[in-house]
Amino acid sequence: MNPDNIRFVLVNTTHPGNIGGVARAMKNMGLRRLYLVAPRDFPNEQAVWRAASATDLLEAAVVVPSLEEAIGDCQFVVGTSARARRIPWPLMDARHCAQRIAEASAREQVAVLFGREDRGLTNDELKVCNLHLNIPTAADYSSLNLAMAVQIVAYELRMLQSVAERPACEVDEWDAPFASRENMERFYTHLEEALVDIEFLDPAAPRQLMSRLRRLYSRVRLDDMELNILRGILTETQKWVRRGRESGR
């Protein structure tokens, strides 16, 4: 595991005290990369007070206006989710998901997303994730404070780091880096355009096609070379469609 490749991303955090609590939880477990997406009130004295001796994490926190800017260079993205979704997504508890995060962080940039205090991450935000992380709680009281949720995930990562043997990677050697989230988003845009061109996707009634294709590609994970091959196929397909339409005039 490489903690320097793991970032915790807080999306639209409402209470500055929660940001301070998160910084403290992260520093306790040896994690230092904190990203804040459009926080409502930061910097703030409450954040400093709650952070205790972790104010250095607050000072180094990266504040960005959008989730895309926070995770654009990441190859592996995990989103915390407390509820079932309309389309099932790969879902793990914190312990098993920490193993996947640790393995990926040995070679890749990894982001762990935490949503708003009152409603978590949106469906669109969860769609950009490779995995969803759920923290099992008692059925009669499932509410977790943001800093508590961060502490649980950070603790599981710390436990992995403390073992004598570093966890094995998913693939010991690979001939190309995995695609970044920014490049995957470009691919999904290109794929949707091509599907419309060949009239496989009706933009007026898209149903769940793109969501299911996102789930497919998130599950298998593409490297840069594979992504370039697929985009090349899409480009050539679009050329043939244009030629066919022009010849039919």
Q: What is the CATH number of the domain that holds 66?
A: 3.40.1280.10
Quick one: 81 and 133 in the same domain?
yes
Is position 240 within any domain?
Answer: yes
User: Which whole-number Å values give the CA distances from 109 to 7, 93, 212, 216, in the listed order?
Assistant: 8, 21, 24, 21
pLDDT of residue 171: 56
Tell me the per-residue pLDDT of 104-116, one tens digit each, with 9 for 90 and over.
999 999 999 999 9
The parent domain of residue 217 ranges over: 181-247
Q: Is 204 exposed, middle or buried (0-12, 13-18, 19+ CB in 10 A)?
A: exposed
Tell me the per-residue pLDDT of 7-49, one tens digit each, with 9 for 90 and over.
999 999 999 999 999 999 999 999 999 999 999 999 999 999 9
Quick one: 218 and 128 in the same domain?
no
The model carries a pTM of: 0.78
Quick one: 154 and 218 in the same domain?
no
pLDDT of residue 22: 96
pLDDT of residue 206: 82
**With contact defined as beta carbons under 8 Å apart, do 26 and 157 qualify?**
no
